[in-house]
Structure 1
Amino acid sequence: MISENDPIKLTLRGSPREIGLQHGRALREQIHSQVSIYDSMFQQKSNLSWEEVREVAKEFQSTLKVLTPHLLTEMEGIAEGADLDVLDIIALNCRSEIALGSFSDGCTTLCWKKSGGARVLSQNWDWRATVKKNLAMISIEQEGKPVLYMVTEAGIVGKIGFNLNGVGTCLNAIRAKPMLSTKVPIHVALRLCLESKSVHDAVKTIESLGGVASAQHILCADYTTALGLELSPVGDKHIAEDSNGLIGHTNHFLENQYVDEPPWLSGSPIRLRRLGDLTKELLDVGVTGDDINADLLRESIFSDTFNLPQAICEQEDPLRPEGTRSSTLFNIVMNLDPKSLGAEVVFGRVGSGEEGSVLKMPW
């Protein structure tokens, strides 16, 4: 039996429809579970029934048909393979937008430029524990685009990972308004980044489609460039590396002031300051070059429990209602050096003693 710390690995190949069908058939049970989980979450957090959620998904269906028809076709394939309606799958892929910021994925991301120039891109992804069993490691091979590897939720076409051109993505959720269903959902934007040949190509693609539907942060990097993309429907800001070659981010905007973003996650600024302190400590003792690796980052940064439960390595808060508690579900560290391109993934809270083994991408 596959445990939550030993997730399904899928290799999907072919046309958008074929990729979707393979995804839907292989993860049918997990996708149905996701629909049930998000149905409950929408009711609890947004006072929306699943039928009301599907009505919003209809708006995004029209948008996807115009802006990203190949990914709509893939979603249609997922729906057919999983024996669901396509609106169920669109709802999963637009869940961040439909919830209007009520879903608060608390995550910590970091990109670090090594002395030789290559970037190391890393993240703890924090979310509801009920979703953990429905995560999968997926590779996608499609004509005319780089082969990509990602960790994603069953039924969702784009998330956190990298491609064989060395373009990688991480994600921080932001709670801010407005939301515009005429623009690209953030999980679709992540997939578009993973289909790109460079960071600059990814930015160009998102801009050419008119931007994203909700406020989010994508930390996007390749061998030569890293940018913190603070994206919103009403304007974007791009954060460059600091003098030490670092970009760190949590769950609030640092420079983007185009949106209405009231304070909402008290631990976010604390985590960001802690991230800065920990990287400074490493710099002060001379960490550089190949010293910046997955073992170091997991041990020195991503297992950090300062300010629990809202720590870099998040722990469920027993004072919050059970259905709203979050914890770190996986850590990923991507080496974007073309000479040693790949990623290490650990499911569970790194450093807790209950995490899984180190898994490799590609596998």
Structure 2
Amino acid sequence: MNATPPAPFPLVEIAGDPRARGRAHGEGARERVRLSAEHYVAQLSRIGLTRAEVAETALGFLPALDAFAPDLVEEMRGVAEGAGITLADVTLVNARTEVLQIAQRRSGGRDDDPDGCTGAVALPETTADGALIHGQNWDWKADCVETSVVLRIRRTDGPDILTFTEAGGLARSGFNAAGIAITANYLECDRDYRATGVPLPFIRRRALEAAHYALAIRVVATTQKSGSNNMMLSHQAGEAVDLECAPDEAFILHPEDGLLVHANHWRSPAALSKLRETGLASVPDSVYRDERVRRALAGRRGRIDAEAFKAALFDDFGAPYSVCRPPLRKESGNLSATVAMIVMRPSLGLMEIAPLPALNRAFTQYRLEMQSAPAAAAE
């Protein structure tokens, strides 16, 4: 990696109907969208897929996507138009986890650099100012520091959204003007990739479009997925839940003593009695990462502020296999790292992000105007 500190992630504001939102995204982050798509095309070519095979695999998700969210497919068409690339390329960005896993399984290999992450929520009773804090470290390919953006999505049919995502993607970590926040972590089990489900950015985006916390939970818990994933949802009023999602079932974890922390291994006793964990070969460090963060936050219970929350996520025990990961070259040749630390305080309409936090502790603030409490509760 370049020794120069990474630039802040650009903010792109989008509005209008789905096609117009997509075009604004594609035009406003054109080079990053193109780099994002090319990054995954190149990675898949190293596995042995031709560009035509990559496009065919990505577009194979369109029937499920059209059935689930035709408006978001229309938004992807707009992204493709704005960035001057194909719909297949934009679909690849939004289904990259699924396409990469399918390609790895076809080639007989396994991903040695999964989409890791350590996420946490501190409920109001644990924080210094009574405001919920929700955040995570996103562990993935270090190159994505140059292919990610923050979207501020202005909507007329629901709450506005602020989300950090890969350029061309619909959503990753974020919160909406109704005070609902989401982060996500890699999980893996023996039920994965037996059937085609909805790619994860579509699920995260639909959850962020919800005006009600209950409806966001329903989207995450009940939508059929291709592979496993862990998603943490919170509400600014002081609620949080962790959903360990197999492709066809979700298992619930609630906060303990006002804290909710999750890394990349299954923790629900119900889940572990029904499925087989298959991801620890790729992320053995998961078993201590969540405990390190939980202990750090518990030691500050009642006094947790943004700096204490960040300090827990900056933990470097076991580096480079740490909560905050410096760049590490994997066997595949990919350079892996904590790409971004994202810290959200939805009640304040505030998101802070540091790119490559193991090397850089400069945060940029991004803001969203929040609804009043009565508006947030309305149907």
Is residue 2:315 matched to residue 1:343? no
d(CA) in 1 for partners of 2:346, 2:172: 17
TM-score (norm 2): 0.85
Q: Which stretches in structure 1 are left out of the alignment for 5+ residues?
A: none
Is residue 2:367 matched to residue 1:355? no
d(CA) in 2 for partners of 1:216, 1:33: 25
Amino acid paired to 1:292: I
The CA RMSD over aligned residues, in Å, is 2.2
Is this contact kept in 1: 2:163–2:173, CA < 8 A?
Answer: yes
Any idea what the Cα deviations from partners look like across 1:165-210, whole Å, max 9, x if unmatched? Answer: 00001110123342256422111111011111233111223456x4
d(CA) in 2 for partners of 1:108, 1:130: 19
d(CA) in 2 for partners of 1:259, 1:82: 41
1:69-108 counterparts in 2 under 5 A?
Answer: 69-100=70-101, 102=111, 104-108=114-118
Q: Which stretches in structure 2 are left out of the alignment for 5+ residues?
A: 102-109, 370-379
Match of residue 202 from structure 2: 188
- Say if 1:27 and 1:309 are closer, same or farther in 2 by CA, change over 3 A: same
CA shift, 1:130, in A, is 1.0
Aligned-residue sequence identity (percent) comes to 24
CA shift, 1:311, in A, is 0.6
Is residue 2:300 matched to residue 1:279? no
Amino acid paired to 2:198: V
Any idea what the Cα deviations from partners look like across 1:253-275, whole Å, max 9, x if unmatched? Answer: 21234554322211111212212
Is residue 2:259 matched to residue 1:246? yes
The 3-state SS of whatever aligns with 2:125 is: coil
1:1-363 counterparts in 2 under 5 A?
Answer: 4-44=6-46, 46-100=47-101, 102=111, 104-115=114-125, 118-176=131-189, 177-179=191-193, 182-207=196-221, 210-222=223-235, 223-242=237-256, 244-255=257-268, 256-257=271-272, 258-262=274-278, 263-264=280-281, 265-282=283-300, 287-288=301-302, 291-299=303-311, 301-318=312-329, 320-321=330-331, 323-337=333-347, 340-349=348-357, 352=359, 354-362=360-368
Is this contact kept in 1: 2:229–2:244, CA < 8 A?
Answer: yes
d(CA) in 2 for partners of 1:231, 1:207: 7
d(CA) in 2 for partners of 1:219, 1:279: 17
The 3-state SS of whatever aligns with 2:299 is: helix
> How many residues align structurally?
347
TM-score (norm 1): 0.89
Is this contact kept in 2: 1:178–1:259, CA < 8 A?
Answer: no
Amino acid paired to 1:359: Q
Match of residue 376 from structure 2: none
CA shift, 1:278, in A, is 1.6
Is this contact kept in 1: 2:352–2:363, CA < 8 A?
Answer: no
Which stretch of the first structure deviates more once superposed, 229-238 or 149-158?
A: 229-238
Amino acid paired to 1:83: G
Amino acid paired to 2:337: S
Amino acid paired to 2:313: F
Match of residue 373 from structure 2: none
